[in-house]
Amino acid sequence: MPEGKAAAAWQDTSIKYPYQDKAAAGPLSLALEAGERLLLLGPSGCGKSTLLNTLTGLIPGTIPAEVTGEVQLFGEKVKSRPPAEWSRQVAQLFQDADQTLCGMTVADEVAFALENLGLPEGEILQRTAAAIDRVGLEPAFGVRRTMRLSGGEKQLVAMAAALAQGAPLFVADEPTAHLAPRAAERLRALLLEPGRSTSVLIIDHRLDGLIDRVDRVAVMGPDGTLVAQGPPAALFREHGELLARFGIWQPLASLLDAELASANLAASDPPLHLSDVLTHIDRLPPDARRLATGIARAFVGRRVRPAIDAGATLSALKGADCAPLFGPVVLRDVSVELRAGEVLGILGGNGAGKSTLGASLAGLLRLKGGRRSGPPGGMAFQNPENQFVTGSLREEIESATDAILTAPEREQRVATMLRRWRLEGLENSHPYELSQGQKRRLALATLTASGRWPFLVLDEPTAGLDAAGAAAVAAQVANLADIGHGVAVITHDMDFALAVCHRVVLVGEGGLIGEGRPGELMRDHALMARAGLEPPTILPALEWLERVPTC
Amino acid sequence: MLSRIHPLAKLVVCLIWIAVSIFVFDAWLQIFIIAMAALALIVLERRSVLLVLALMVPFALFGFGFLTTSVLFRQESDFALQMARETPLGSEAFSAGIVLFLRAIACGMVSAVFALTTDPGGLIKALMANWRLPPSIGFSLFAALQLVPDIASEAQQIRLARAMKKGRPPRRIPGPLETASLVIPLLAFAIRRATRTAIALEARGLSPDRPRTIVGAPPFRRGDITFAVLSLALAAAAIWVVIGTGSG
C-alpha cells in the first residue's frame, strides 16, 4: 500500500458475503492517488461494485459482509466513521439513477447531500443552481419532479447532485450503462472534465471516449483479485491477451493495434484512438501500408454485418400506433417488418419508444391503431429479473426447454446452455443472486433453450455485459439468424448494432425517422443527431477505408 | 389558490372539517361540506365540474354500502338509527342511511381537496421543519412516492414476460390468480429497491445522528392564518346553524 495520504486505498482487502464459500472480491491492494482518475475494469460478477461499496463502509456497515484487510480514505481508516459521515469526502454516482433519486424535485435532489451536511441555506441554493447549470440543465428544470424525467435526464440530475457535493473523491459505478450514446458522452465529459482536481474512481464497460480521460486502469480478474494496472494505452497493449481471456472490454484502437503488432506493423507508441492507428498506417512505407490496410480492412469487415437476402416475413407492423401497457400512444403510423434470417436493429435515444416498438413487434402489446401480422415472438426484457419464475438457474432453463425432450435430453440441453452462456457452476444459485451480466445471460439462455420462437426481440441485450458476454450474445444472434430465425435487437451500442444487424430502424420524434443498412444510416450525422445517437466508434475506420485504394 | 396555503394549516383545517362531518350526524351539514369542497375545487382551483363529479363516484360507492346496509339490515343498524334520533344535532328529515352515505362523500371530498391542492414534497418538508418528522421517515416517504409508479411499471413488465411464455398478450385487467402471483415478485422488487435507495441515501450523507438543513420548506404566511381562522369560523357557524335548526 502506498505511503502518504492516497485518496483511497485498499490493503490486502478481501470481502466475503454471508453464507458464501468464496470471497466476492480480493484479496487485493490498490490505491488511488489524490487528483488521479482511475478506471476499474473486470469481467461481470468479479466484485468491482462490492469493492466500491467498501470505500465508505457501506460494506460491512450497511450491507453485511466479512471484510478483512484495511480500507482507507485520505489516510483515515474507513471504519472510523459511519458511512454517511464520508459524504463530505466522497460523492457517489450509482448505475441506476432511480435508486439514487428520492422522488423530489430536481432542485431538492441536488440540494439533498448539502442539506445533510448542515450547510447554510444560502450556500446550498447557490451550489444547487451552479450544479444544475454545470450539467447543462435549464434553471427551470429545478422545479420539475424527477419521476417525470427520462432515464438520461435522471442520470444527469444524479450527476448534478454528486457534483454539488464538491467532494474531493468522486466514485461512479457504471454511470452510463443505461444511457443512449449522446447522453453517455455528456456524462463522461462532466465526470472527467479536464482541470478538475477531484480524484475519480470509475467502473464502466464502455471504454471508447473514456480511456483518454483517465490516468490509470486497474484490472480485476474473475476471482476478484487485481491482475494488472497501468496507464491505459500501455496496459491494453501489454495485457491485451489477458484481458481477452478474461472477457474484458478493450478499445477498438488497442484491438487493431494488436493485430498490426502480430505482423510487426504496430506503432512504437501504443494508441488510444482509432484515428491514431489509421494515421500511423498512412505514414507507413508503401508495402507495409498495403499490408496494414489489408489487416485494417479485415478488422473492420468482421465488425460490419454484410447485407443479406432475408426470407419470409415473420412479423410485420403496418401503420401501427404503439403504446405501452395501459399507456398512451408513443409511436404513430409505424410500418416495419422482421424477416427470417434477418437481424433488425431498433435504435434511438432514451425514452424514444424502442421497447414499446419491440414488444409490439413481438405481439405482446395490443396496437392502438394499424395492424400486426405474424406469430408471437419471444422477448428478452431490459430487466432480466422479470422473466425469472423459479428458484434456480437449472430449473429456469429446464422450464424453458421443449416439452417433448426426454429427461436425459433435457439434462443435456441445460448443460449446453449453461456452458454456452458461461453460467457453469451457478446452476443451483437463485437467479436473483447473479450479477446483472449473469442475469442477462440467463434470460437469453432461457429464450434460446427451445425452438419455440420463430423470432426474438432482445431489449438492450449487451447492457452491463463484459466483452465475452457481448461476444456470446453477438454469436448467438448470428447463429439464430443463420438458422432462419428473425432477431430484433434494441440497443444503445452502435458498434454492436453495426456488427450484428443487417438492417436498422431509427426511432424518434414519435415514430420511425429512418430505416436502412446500418453502415449507411450511421454515416448520416444529422439523422443520428435527430435520434439522439452518436456514430459508432468504428466509423472513422469505415470512412478511412473508403478513401484508401483497395490494392 | 388553495395550493398556496401552507400544507399544515390546510391539513389541520381539513382534519377539523372531517371531524365535524363524523361527529355531527346531520344530512344538511354533510351536504354543506360536500358543496363547500366541490366549490373550492371548481371556483378556487378551477377544476372541471366533471372531474369533481367523477371524484365523488368512489366515495359515493363506498357510502352506498352504508345506505344499503342501513335499509336492508335495519336490525343491525339500530345503533346508527338511534344515533340519528338521539343526537342533539341530528335531523329527523333524513334516514340514518342517507346521513352515512353523505358522510362518506363529505369526508372523501375534504380529503380530495387536500390531496389535489397539496404538493406532497411541500407537505413532507413542512412536517420535517415544523412537526419534527424524522428525516429518515420523511425521505422514506419521498422514496415511496417514487416507488409507486415504478412498481406499476415493474408489474407490467412481469405481466408481459409471463404473457410471452403463454404466447398471447396480457389481459387488460389481471385475474385474481395472476394478481396473486404478482405479489411476491413485486414485494421482492420493492424490498430490493428500498434497500438500494436506503444505501444511496446513506451514501449521500443522510444520518439520524446529525442536524441537517431543510431548504424550501413552505413558510407560514399571514394568509394561512386568515384561511385557518375563516375556515374554522365557517365550521363553527355551520354547527351553530345545525343546532339552531335541528334538535336545538
Q: Does A103 touch chain B (CB under 8 A)?
A: yes
- Domain-embedded: residue A541: no
Lowest mean pLDDT among A50-54, B81-85, B181-185: B81-85
Give the residue from A302, A324, A341 where a domain finishes. A302
User: Predicted confidence band at B83 (pLDDT cuts at 50, 70, 90)?
Assistant: low
- Whether B246 has a pLDDT exceeding 70, the answer reads no
Higher pLDDT pick, A185 / A258: A258
Report the pLDDT value the prediction gives residue B75, as an integer from 0 to 100: 54
- Domain-embedded: residue A412: yes
Measure A325 CA to nearest chain B CA, in Å: 7
C-alpha to C-alpha distance for A525 and A181, rounded to whole angstroms: 13
Residues A346, A385 within the same domain: yes
Bond prior to A375 in cis (omega within 30° of 0): no
Q: Which residue of B has its CA nearest to A114?
A: B213
Residues 18-77 of A with CB under 8 A from B: 53, 56, 58, 62-63
Residues A405, A264 within the same domain: no
Choose the closest CB to A62 out of B168, B199, B209: B199
Residues A523, A402 within the same domain: yes
Instruction: Name the DSSP letter for residue B41.
Output: I
- Domain-embedded: residue A550: no
How confident is the model over A354-385, as pLDDT tens digits?
999 999 999 988 899 999 999 989 999 888 88
Report the pLDDT value the prediction gives residue B126, as an integer from 0 to 100: 94
How confident is the model over B190-212, as pLDDT tens digits?
888 888 888 888 999 998 888 89
Site from B141, B164, B201 to mutate, A interface, most A CB atoms within 10 angstroms: B164
Report the pLDDT value the prediction gives residue A197, as an integer from 0 to 100: 79
Report the pLDDT value the prediction gives residue A550, as an integer from 0 to 100: 64
A63:B201 CB<8 A: no
A9 DSSP β-pair partners: A31, A72
Which three three-digit cell numbers place residue A299?
A: 478488422
- Whether A335 has a pLDDT exceeding 80, the answer reads yes
Quote the Cα angle for A370-A374-A376, to 5°: 105
Residues A441, A518 within the same domain: yes
- Domain-embedded: residue A546: no
Average confidence (pLDDT) over A224-239: 94
Classify residue B130 by burial, with Cβ atoms within 10 Å: 0-12, 13-18, 19+.
middle
Residues 111-140 of A with CB under 8 A from B: 111-121, 124-125, 128
- Whether A126 has a pLDDT exceeding 80, the answer reads yes
How confident is the model over A97-109, as pLDDT tens digits?
877 777 688 999 9
Domain ranges, residue A268: 252-302
Return the number of other C-beta atoms located less than 10 Å from residue A152's C-beta.
22
Report the pLDDT value the prediction gives residue B81, as an integer from 0 to 100: 58
In chain B, residues with a C-beta closer than 8 Å to the C-beta of A382 are 157
- Indicate the number of domains in chain A: 3
How confident is the model over A75-91, as pLDDT tens digits?
999 999 999 999 999 99
In chain A, residues with a C-beta closer than 8 Å to the C-beta of B160 are 325, 359, 364-365, 379, 381, 386
- Whether A290 has a pLDDT exceeding 90, the answer reads yes
- Domain-embedded: residue A545: no
User: Predicted confidence band at B97 (pLDDT cuts at 50, 70, 90)?
Assistant: confident
Percentage of chain B lying above the pLDDT 70 cut: 88
Q: Are A10 and A54 in contact (CB under 8 A)?
A: yes
Angle, helix B120-130 to helix B135-166, in steps of 10 degrees: 150
Residues A45, A164 within the same domain: yes
Residues A163, A271 within the same domain: no
Helix (H) or strand (E) holding A355: helix A354-361
Length of chain B: 248
Q: Does B187 touch chain A (CB under 8 A)?
A: no
- Whether A299 has a pLDDT exceeding 70, the answer reads yes
Average confidence (pLDDT) over A175-193: 81
How confident is the model over B19-37, as pLDDT tens digits?
999 988 888 899 999 999 9
Choose the closest CB to A99 out of B170, B196, B207: B196
What is the layout of strands, in order, in the sheet containing A66-73? A25-32, A8-16, A66-73, A76-77
Choose the closest CB to A365 out of B169, B205, B211: B169
The residue type found at A247 is G
C-alpha to C-alpha distance for A227 and A213, rounded to whole angstroms: 22
Handedness of CA A381, A351, A305, A298 (dihedral sign): negative
- Whether B154 has a pLDDT exceeding 80, the answer reads yes
Length of chain A: 551
Average confidence (pLDDT) over A294-299: 95
Choose the closest CB to A116 out of B143, B158, B206: B206
Report the pLDDT value the prediction gives residue A2, as an integer from 0 to 100: 42
Residues A262, A227 within the same domain: no
Residues A183, A268 within the same domain: no
Lowest mean pLDDT among A281-285, A430-434, B169-173: B169-173
Lowest mean pLDDT among A399-403, B88-92, B131-135: B88-92
Q: Which residue of A has its CA nearest to B194?
A: A99
Q: What CATH number is attached to the domain comprising A196? A: 3.40.50.300
Report the pLDDT value the prediction gives residue B73, as an integer from 0 to 100: 66
How confident is the model over A490-540, as pLDDT tens digits?
998 899 999 999 999 999 999 999 999 998 899 998 999 888 888 899 999
In chain A, residues with a C-beta closer than 8 Å to the C-beta of B142 are 102-104
A364:B170 CB<8 A: yes
Report the pLDDT value the prediction gives residue B76, as an integer from 0 to 100: 53
- Whether A95 has a pLDDT exceeding 80, the answer reads no
Measure A257 CA to nearest chain B CA, in Å: 41
Size of interface A-B (CB pairs under 8 A): 144
Q: Which residue of B has its CA nearest to A378?
A: B164
The chain-wide mean pLDDT, for chain A, equals: 89
In chain B, residues with a C-beta closer than 8 Å to the C-beta of A121 are 213, 215
Residues A466, A507 within the same domain: yes
Residues A174, A294 within the same domain: no
Residues A297, A319 within the same domain: no
**Alpha carbon of B116 to those of A366, A436, B23, B54, B148: distances in Å?**
33, 40, 25, 14, 17
Residues A318, A408 within the same domain: yes
For residues B182-200, one letter each, b for 16 or more C-beta atoms within 10 angstroms of the residue's C-beta and e for the rest, the string is beebeeebbeebeebbbbb
Percentage of chain A lying above the pLDDT 70 cut: 98
In chain B, residues with a C-beta closer than 8 Å to the C-beta of A385 are 185, 189
- Whether B248 has a pLDDT exceeding 50, the answer reads no
C-alpha to C-alpha distance for B134 and A128, rounded to whole angstroms: 23
Q: Does A386 touch chain B (CB under 8 A)?
A: yes
- Domain-embedded: residue A119: yes
Report the pLDDT value the prediction gives residue B86, as an integer from 0 to 100: 54
Higher pLDDT pick, A175 / A245: A245
Higher pLDDT pick, A435 / B95: A435
Choose the closest CB to A102 out of B146, B156, B192: B146
Q: Does B204 touch chain A (CB under 8 A)?
A: yes
- Whether A393 has a pLDDT exceeding 90, the answer reads yes
